[in-house]
Amino acid sequence: MIVLMTGATGFIGRTLSARLSAEGHTLRILTRNTNATPAQSGLPIGTRAFPWTSGDTVPAAALDGADAVVHLAGESIGSWPWTAARKRRILESRVLGTRALVRAISEGGTKPSVLVAASAVGYYGDGGGESLPESHAPGKGFLAEVCVAWEREIFRARELGLRAVAVRNGLVLGRGGALAKLLPVYRKGGGAVLGSGRQWWSWVHVEDTAGIFLHALGNGALEGAVNGCAPEPVAQREFADTLAKAVRRPRLFRIPAFALRLGLGEMAATLLEGQKTDVSKLSKGYDFRYRTLEAALENIVAGG
């Protein structure tokens, strides 16, 4: 297939682009930095780049002949502080970027058959201990509102005859992303329970995230929202203890919820709220490489 991708130079995008290339697919990317070579961007040789800033008009040539579109681009939610301006960028980068892609598809000639786009388990808000299938109603809070608006734009592609899949990513684990910040802390013995530690964290190894997107591209029966998480979510306390064990350091601390809210403001919700996702829909056709947190973290810590 010819696959057009946004966010290809990001943490997930680099892993997915390598897997796409290894399987013989042709990769095109939309990027702000068209001057960088594929090697400089960490992308497969032969990747063709087209200039694009999220929300702008997508070059028609980028979509010409494309069989599929993968949309990963969006402002990071992990940057502090969440000012009003940053929250606006988080929302608009997802909503306007997706809208621009779907508009370009509608205005083109021969259309791709599928759009697979990232979403997030933040859709559910704070789910407590309830098991959350894709049919569950959206929750409350900023991230839930972002995901609802984001998915609304993704599923507009259905009106054009495309199969549309929104992968609700959990905490994606690998040598980048959140663990790039957590590993140095834990290696110094600074691992901590956050708040009560009872909040559920739905996680997934980045190799499985790439595998889930490949599965969504190739499985014509898969459509709609999909919880893109490993089958065994854990409470945050268990996550902290398992990561401390993986780096062979004790987990000694607990940070009270009020301290996190005082320090991080509204952004503390990303750590204190949780989602226990049900991945039955995905598990019917996808075989996970890393089903347990212990196996995933051991692989990553060992440099896998």
Instruction: Identify the pLDDT of residue 38.
Output: 85
Residue 142 in domain: yes
Q: What is the mean pLDDT of residues 244-265?
A: 97
Q: Which domain holds residue 24?
A: 2-171+204-229+277-289
For 34, residues 6+ apart whose C-beta sits below 8 A from its C-beta are 49, 50, 51
Q: What is the mean pLDDT of residues 80-94?
A: 95
Contact between 228 and 209 under an 8 Å Cβ cutoff? The reply is yes
How many angstroms separate the CA atoms of 25 and 13, rounded?
15
Tokens 């945050």 correspond to: 236
Phi, psi of 31 (to 5 degrees): -150, 155
Question: What is the DSSP-derived secondary structure letter of residue 80?
Answer: S
Contact between 233 and 276 under an 8 Å Cβ cutoff? The reply is yes
How many angstroms separate the CA atoms of 123 and 126, rounded?
9
Residues 255-291: pLDDT tens digits? 999 999 999 999 999 999 999 999 999 999 999 999 9
Contact between 39 and 81 under an 8 Å Cβ cutoff? The reply is no
Q: Radius of gyration (Cα) for the chain, nearest Å?
A: 19
The share of the chain scoring above pLDDT 90, in percent, equals 94
Q: What is the mean pLDDT of residues 151-172?
A: 98
Query: Both tokens of residue 42?
Result: 């960490």
Q: Let me know how many helices (H) and strands (E) the chain has, helices first.
A: 12, 15
Q: Under DSSP, is residue 113 helix (H, G, I), strand (E, B) or coil? A: coil
Instruction: Identify the pLDDT of residue 127.
Output: 96
Residue 131 in domain: yes
Report CA torsion sign: 64, 101, 9, 204: negative
Mean pLDDT of the chain: 96
| pTM, full prediction | 0.96
The share of the chain scoring above pLDDT 70, in percent, equals 100
Residue 236 in domain: no
Instruction: Identify the pLDDT of residue 42.
Output: 87
Residue 263 in domain: no
Instruction: Identify the pLDDT of residue 303.
Output: 81
Identity of residue 135? S
Residue 284 in domain: yes
pLDDT at residue 55 above 90? Answer: no
Instruction: Identify the pLDDT of residue 54.
Output: 87
Report CA torsion sign: 192, 292, 18, 68: negative
- Supply the CATH number for residue 96's domain: 3.40.50.720
Residues 7-25: pLDDT tens digits? 999 999 999 999 999 999 9
Question: What contacts 24+ positions apart, CB below 8 Å, involve 50-58?
Answer: 52/6, 54/6, 54/92, 54/93, 54/96, 54/97, 54/100, 55/92, 55/93, 55/96, 55/97, 55/99, 55/100, 56/100, 57/100, 57/104, 58/30, 58/100, 58/101, 58/103, 58/104
pLDDT at residue 160 above 70? Answer: yes
Instruction: Identify the pLDDT of residue 34.
Output: 83
Residues 175-206: pLDDT tens digits? 999 999 999 999 999 999 999 999 999 999 99
pLDDT at residue 35 above 90? Answer: no
Residue 217 in domain: yes
Tell me how many domains the chain contains. Answer: 1
Contact between 280 and 222 under an 8 Å Cβ cutoff? The reply is no
pLDDT at residue 304 above 80? Answer: no
